[in-house]
Amino acid sequence: MESMFHWDGWASIDTPLVSSLFVMLLLMVIGTVVGIRARIGLKRKEYLQKPKGIMFFAEIYYDMCNNFASNNMGENHVGWGGYFWTLFAYLFIAFNISLFGLPSVVDWLACPLCLALIMFTIIQYQGLKYSKLGYFHRYVEPIFVFLPVNLITMWAPIISTTMRMFGNCLSGTILIGLIQWALGSASSAIFGAFGVVGTIGTSPFWNDPGWTSIFLAPGPVGLLNSYFSLFSGFIQTLVFTTLSAIWISQEMPQASPKKNEILPASEAQPLVTQE
């Protein structure tokens, strides 16, 4: 926590920050390549043909993000596909970057906190944009004495979303560490029962006193790391983006039915007759 609010030059740069910057740089490169390729394809009228190569995957991902926004935001989704394009990609890559040997990003508290603050800022901006000065009335509903409670309610999503994402990622890291320690101890005990204490022969590798402690760990730890990074990372990405879409859409005006439009039976108002 202290390192987030203390700056001491380059010495204050945490390794997860470097990983986060690498993820953002990667997304910028991919976005630039796709954008240039799409512009070239537009001039050549390649949109009349089946997409190939990187544009094939880009269109699938674009349609997925647009459909996600449409399903969770209704008619308010127009223009929000690009936001979820970036959010989905950043979160999922940040969860899985540790599989490639780089420091994890999401179990660094600054990452989920910044994402939650961005989401909170967008929600409040949308409220001010569409409700104008009436936006502030929500803080004193139903009466003025509820101001402290309403303030807590408004700020609660920052804490809840931050702790949910940070806690799930950190718990996986701790669990993997404990299992690795247990398997390392078991491995050392097995080799110790045969009189092997970490040194065999004259090779530099065999003379390393710690090699026997990792004999059992790679397989199970690798599987657990894949689970907590791939599966759990996908679930946390989906939860965060879904909550963001729902909370943002709640601040936008809902589209009213068009004239002569027939509503579904579940939404139609019952007729009231007088005797």
Q: How many CB atoms lie within 10 A of CB 120?
A: 19
Tell me the pTM: 0.73
Q: Which residue range is the domain that position 241 belongs to?
A: 83-250
Answer whether residue 227 is part of any domain.
Answer: yes
Nearby residues of 58 by Cβ (< 8 Å), 6 or more positions away:
34, 37, 38, 51
Closest CA to 73 of 137, 9, 123, 107: 123
Answer whether residue 179 is part of any domain.
Answer: yes
pLDDT average, residue stretch 161-186: 81
Determine phi and psi for 210, rounding to 5 degrees: -105, 0
pLDDT at residue 214, rounded to an integer: 61
Q: How many CB atoms lie within 10 A of CB 177?
A: 11
Mean of per-residue pLDDT scores for the chain:
77
Answer whether residue 2 is part of any domain.
Answer: no
pLDDT bracket for residue 200 (50, 70, 90): very low
Answer whether residue 67 is part of any domain.
Answer: no
CA 167/CA 90 separation, integer angstroms: 18
The tokens describing 142, both together, are 């139903």
pLDDT at residue 8, rounded to an integer: 58
Q: Would the pLDDT of 212 be above 50?
A: yes
CA 95/CA 230 separation, integer angstroms: 7
Q: Would the pLDDT of 272 be above 50?
A: no
pLDDT bracket for residue 213 (50, 70, 90): low
The tokens describing 168, both together, are 């799930």
Q: How many domains does the chain have?
A: 1
pLDDT at residue 258, rounded to an integer: 46
